[in-house]
């Protein structure tokens, strides 16, 4: 198994205004490993959003299904001014190709 590219998202408010230049943070809630690789939960990954509220650039993350033990990401979305406007515990599924964050249904946990 390998890291998987994450794309999309289209983070916006309920009126459809995108989180222009906002950003996401990803943090594993538990340490994990895959093969001979240890994945540290203590390091938070920050991912910038573009003018459409979509992930900017190329970002790879470990799919949770690749990690042992079972894990989830704490994912938060912030406006450009740093206001936390979206917060959920989510998983990145394993699979071929990239994963569109826009397909997530928020867990609201």
Footprint of other proteins (CB under 8 A): 8-17, 19, 53, 77, 79, 83-88, 100-106, 108
Shortest Å distance, C-beta 87 to other proteins: 7
Question: Cα dist. 99→6, 63, 79, 83, 87 in Å?
Answer: 5, 10, 22, 25, 19
Rounded (10°) CA dihedral 102, 6, 85, 87: 100
Q: In the chain, how long is the greatest CA-to-CA distance?
A: 46
Shortest Å distance, C-beta 78 to other proteins: 9
Shorter beta-carbon distance to other proteins: residue 3 or 8? 8
CB atoms within 10 A of CB 78: 19
Helix (H) or strand (E) run with residue 89 in it: strand 84-90
Shorter beta-carbon distance to other proteins: residue 37 or 106? 106
Shorter beta-carbon distance to other proteins: residue 20 or 34? 20
Shorter beta-carbon distance to other proteins: residue 16 or 69? 16
């Amino acid at each position: 198994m390998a890291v998987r590219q994450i794309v999309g998202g289209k983070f916006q408010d309920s009126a459809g205004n995108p989180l222009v230049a906002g950003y996401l943070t990803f943090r594993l809630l538990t340490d994990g490993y895959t093969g001979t690789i240890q994945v540290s939960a203590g390091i938070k990954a920050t991912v910038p959003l573009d003018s459409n509220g979509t992930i900017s650039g190329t970002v790879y993350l470990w799919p949770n299904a690749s990690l042992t033990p079972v894990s989830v990401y704490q994912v938060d979305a912030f406006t450009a001014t740093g206001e936390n406007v979206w917060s959920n515990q989510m998983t990145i599924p394993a699979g071929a190709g990239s994963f569109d964050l826009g397909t997530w249904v928020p867990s609201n946990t």
